[in-house]
Structures are given as structure tokens and as C-alpha cells.
């Protein structure tokens, strides 16, 4: 065993972070579990429900480690929920889990951990932290490719990667559950959380947003500009969407190829019209030094990475030139750059 470290583990009450804490405690480290209270409103799952906090606390008790709850509701509201609503209002498709990682888990919590004397922060993400020959630390894909979460960690830079530990990235989800079972953890068979933690399955995205913004009704037009339908909310329509437009008749499937909030229109067309030669991104960050040039690019949490060339466009923006035409990326989505299994950096589709 390497030297015992003092590690703060973010415990959501799920099986992955339970096992992350268990592995570190078993290895003899000085581990403290922390659950974040992020949302004061209704919630089905995630860090916001009392039963999940209870699960995290009981797992910590079982492991014999201390457990604390930190209330970051204010920051979560300001840095995750409000921008989520604002992005929808601007017609983009935001990813709040990534913003939570960027601003809360790996910023606010990391700073709190540091202030409390913890040089190391651990989470239950399925990804690995590897150190290259140059000493730079990078996120690498988890060994369980079906569960890999490197994409949602692609914004982490050297400062945030320092002291980060991802204990379960080296094992599969089945192994995680087997360990939880072996240790008798109450979370061993808990289902994975799926959805945005602050939106309930009852209210859904549309209900949540309806209370916080006004929707723009719009018309659905085809490539020739002929109106063929109507939508209640242009803001809730996403590029590539095929269902839920209630279009009458028609033969071939029609996909959303463009949305224009100002013109109150949603344009539909054939799937072939959805492919682009390039994708513009902004807010580009690099894990270490910029790596312009040929990369693999992933545009969805569970998508595959496709080859392209990332070109500096100045002011933190870039253009990805795809080797092969690529499905249009909805504005607001994270675009992650890889070399093999290593995360190089990321940006946000414009």
C-alpha cells in the first residue's frame, strides 16, 4: 500500500461513490465522506433527496468513516440551475450535470476540501486519472466502456486534476456491484440515476422550465419554407429531434435540422441534411497545454468519438473540422477532445 492519504470522498448515495469510499477506506486511507445538498426543491434522486443522503450516511457508518453534509444550494442555483434555464431560454441545449461538475463538485467542493486540509478529493465517476511521462495528469476513459464518464469530466484542468482520485475507473460496473455486495453495502442494488437531479419525473423538463421562463410558440417548416405544423415551445425543440413534433402525414421520417428562436421557426428535413463538415465551439479548455490538430471528438455522454481536426479560432473558440460529415451538434452541448483514451480538453458547441 502506498502512503495513507487524507481523502474527501463525494458520496451521492449511489453505489459507485459508496464503493469509491469503500475502496479508499479499505486501502487504509484517512477517508471522510461528504454529501452535497444542492437543491431545495422536489427531486427524485441524486444529491438532493433525503433518502440518498441517508444512504450515503449509512454507508459511511458501515465503513467506519465520518460523513458530513455540505449545503451548496446557493451556488448550485446560481451556477447550474439559473444558467440551465437561461440556456434553454436562449434556444440552446444545456448539460447541467457538466456545469455541476465544473462549478460545484470540482470547484466549490474541491476548494472546501482544500480549506479543510484535504489534498485529495475522490468521486465515484467511471473514469481514470493517469499521469503522463511529462508529469501532466489527464482523465482517461474508465475500463467499463459502457459506463465511461470521462466525457463529463473533460473540463478539468491541471489545477483541478491535482489531488483528484477516481477509484472505480479501473473496474467495471459489475465489479462495483460485486464489491458493494461483498461489503454488505445497502446501495449494492440501487439503480443508476438517469436524469437531471433537480427535475422530477412528474414535472419533467417542460414543467420545470414552464415555471421559470416563458415559452415561444413557433411554426414547423420544411426546407422550402412551407408550414407543416406548430410547436408550443421552440425552446424545447432540439436539433436532431424526430419525435414529438406532431406532424401530420408525410412519408419519410423528418428530423429537426434547425431552430430559430427569433424567427419562431423549427425547420425539419431529411436525416442527410443533419450532417455537417465542421462544428464551431467556444469556452475551450485544455487539460494541459493546447493540443490543436487531429483529435478524436465526442459530442454526447454515451456517443462514440469521431476523428477530426480542432483548429484555434481565437478568444477561446475553435472549429472542429470533421474527417467524415458528422451529425449536427445541438448548441450548448459539450464537445470533448481525446487522443486514444485520454481526454485532452473540451468546449461547448455554438
Active site residues per annotation = 100, 197
> Which of 65-73, 129-137, 218-226, 285-293 is the region at the interface with another protein (rule: CB under 8 A)?
65-73
> Which of 63-71, 95-103, 128-136, 317-325 is the region at the interface with another protein (rule: CB under 8 A)?
63-71
How far is the C-alpha of 254 from the C-alpha of 154, rounded, in Å?
33
Give residues with Cβ within 8 angstroms of 327, minimum separation 6: 240, 274, 275, 276, 299
| 6 forms part of the interface with another protein (CB under 8 A) | no
Give residues with Cβ within 8 angstroms of 204, minimum separation 6: none
> In terms of residues, how long is the chain?
350
Cβ closer to another protein: 116 or 263?
116
How far is the C-alpha of 349 from the C-alpha of 331, rounded, in Å?
5
Cβ closer to another protein: 100 or 140?
100
C-alpha cell at 147: 459506463
Cβ closer to another protein: 5 or 112?
112
| 300 forms part of the interface with another protein (CB under 8 A) | no
Residue 257 · residue 290 · CB < 8 Å: no
Residue 73 · residue 39 · CB < 8 Å: yes
Give the one residue of 26, 69, 186, 193 binding another protein; rule: CB under 8 A. 69
Give the one residue of 27, 41, 57, 228 binding another protein; rule: CB under 8 A. 57
| 198 forms part of the interface with another protein (CB under 8 A) | no
115-119 — which CB contacts under 8 Å span 24+ positions? 116/8, 117/6, 118/6, 118/7, 118/8, 118/32, 118/163, 119/5, 119/6, 119/163
C-alpha cell at 266: 423549427
> Which of 70-78, 286-294, 318-326, 339-347 is the region at the interface with another protein (rule: CB under 8 A)?
70-78
| 58 forms part of the interface with another protein (CB under 8 A) | no
**What's the gap between Cα 224 and its chain centre?**
37
Residue 38 · residue 72 · CB < 8 Å: yes
| 90 forms part of the interface with another protein (CB under 8 A) | no
HSE-CB at 241 with a 13 A cutoff on CA atoms is: 19
| 50 forms part of the interface with another protein (CB under 8 A) | yes
Residues in contact with another protein, total (CB under 8 A)? 14
Taking every pair of Cα atoms in the chain, the longest distance, rounded to a whole number of angstroms, is 69
**In the bound complex, what is the minimum distance in angstroms from residue 165's beta carbon to another protein?**
20
Cβ closer to another protein: 72 or 255?
72
**In the bound complex, what is the minimum distance in angstroms from residue 54's beta carbon to another protein?**
8
C-alpha cell at 299: 459530442
How far is the C-alpha of 326 from the C-alpha of 322, rounded, in Å?
7
**In the bound complex, what is the minimum distance in angstroms from residue 99's beta carbon to another protein?**
21
> Which of 49-57, 160-168, 191-199, 321-329 is the region at the interface with another protein (rule: CB under 8 A)?
49-57
Cβ closer to another protein: 35 or 123?
35
What would the x/- binding string for another protein be over residues 95 to 124, using CB under 8 A? -----------------x--xxx-------
**What's the gap between Cα 345 and its chain centre?**
14
Give the one residue of 5, 26, 37, 232 binding another protein; rule: CB under 8 A. 37
Of 214, 239, 264, 223, nearest to 331 by C-alpha is 239
| 70 forms part of the interface with another protein (CB under 8 A) | yes
Give the one residue of 4, 42, 61, 71 binding another protein; rule: CB under 8 A. 71
**Which residues contact another protein (rule: CB under 8 A)?**
35, 37, 50, 53, 57, 68-71, 73, 112, 115-117
Amino acid at each position: 500500500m502506498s502512503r495513507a492519504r487524507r481523502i474527501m470522498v463525494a458520496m451521492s448515495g449511489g453505489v459507485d461513490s459508496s464503493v469509491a469510499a469503500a475502496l479508499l477506506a479499505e486501502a487504509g486511507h484517512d477517508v471522510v465522506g461528504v454529501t452535497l445538498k444542492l437543491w431545495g426543491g422536489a427531486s427524485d434522486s441524486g444529491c438532493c433527496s433525503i433518502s440518498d443522503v441517508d444512504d450515503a450516511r449509512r454507508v459511511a457508518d458501515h465503513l467506519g468513516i465520518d460523513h458530513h453534509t455540505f449545503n451548496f444550494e446557493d451556488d448550485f442555483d446560481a451556477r447550474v440551475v439559473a444558467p440551465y434555464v437561461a440556456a434553454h431560454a436562449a434556444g440552446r441545449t444545456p448539460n447541467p450535470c457538466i456545469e455541476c461538475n465544473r462549478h460545484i463538485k470540482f470547484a466549490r467542493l474541491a476548494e472546501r476540501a482544500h480549506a479543510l486540509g484535504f489534498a485529495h478529493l475522490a468521486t465515484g465517476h467511471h473514469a481514470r486519472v493517469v499521469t503522463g511521462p511529462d508529469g501532466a495528469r489527464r482523465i482517461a476513459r474508465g475500463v467499463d466502456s459502457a459506463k465511461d464518464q470521462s466525457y463529463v469530466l473533460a473540463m478539468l484542468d491541471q489545477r483541478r486534476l491535482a489531488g483528484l482520485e477516481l477509484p472505480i475507473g479501473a473496474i467495471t460496473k459489475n465489479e462495483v456491484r460485486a464489491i458493494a455486495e461483498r461489503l454488505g453495502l445497502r446501495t449494492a442494488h440501487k439503480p443508476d440515476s438517469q436524469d437531471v437531479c433537480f427535475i422530477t419525473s412528474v414535472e419533467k423538463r417542460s414543467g420545470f422550465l414552464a415555471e421559470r421562463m416563458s415559452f415561444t410558440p413557433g411554426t414547423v417548416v420544411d426546407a422550402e419554407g412551407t408550414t407543416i405544423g406548430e410547436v408550443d415551445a421552440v425552446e424545447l425543440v432540439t436539433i436532431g429531434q424526430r419525435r414529438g413534433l406532431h406532424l401530420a402525414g408525410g412519408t419519410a421520417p423528418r428530423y429537426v435540422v434547425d431552430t430559430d428562436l427569433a424567427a419562431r421557426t423549427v425547420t425539419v428535413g431529411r436525416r442527410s441534411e443533419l450532417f455537417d463538415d465542421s462544428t464551431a465551439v467556444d469556452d475551450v479548455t485544455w487539460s494541459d497545454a493546447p493540443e490543436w490538430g487531429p483529435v478524436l471528438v465526442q459530442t454526447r455522454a454515451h456517443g462514440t468519438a469521431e476523428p477530426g481536426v480542432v483548429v484555434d479560432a481565437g478568444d477561446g473558440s475553435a472549429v472542429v473540422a470533421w474527417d467524415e460529415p458528422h451529425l449536427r451538434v445541438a448548441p450548448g452541448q459539450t464537445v470533448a477532445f481525446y487522443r486514444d483514451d485520454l481526454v485532452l480538453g473540451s468546449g461547448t458547441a455554438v
